[in-house]
Amino acid sequence: MSLPQNGTAALSSELAAKEAAESEGEAALHVCRKLRTKLAFLPLRTADNDPLYWQRGDGSTSVYWCLRTMECAGPDGGLAHATLCGPDRLCCEPITS
């Protein structure tokens, strides 16, 4: 069974709107733009299909690193983690649009 053209377009615009809302949600999490984890490169979902954000520290097995030092610690010597790398650290580079 195939969808009519207008059904396909509606589905595409719904998916685009959902992705845009999730991107806005990620940007509002205020982590340093130099923070990375392997979970940053794929979308994460719960069993109920709700988004998980690596920037919140949602991944319980995440390993974080700083792109400035390429280590698990930032340039200030503090641990690189989603809950720690934010605007209160001097080395933080905020995500800007």
Structure tokens at 51: 């988004």
> What is the model's pTM?
0.61
- At 16 the pLDDT is 57
Identify which of 61, 62, 39 has the alpha carbon closest to the alpha carbon of residue 51.
39
Res. 1 pLDDT band, cuts 50 70 90: very low
Strand 64-66 with 35-37, pairing = antiparallel
Residues 27-73 have pLDDT tens digits of: 566 889 999 988 777 777 878 888 877 777 777 778 899 999 999 99
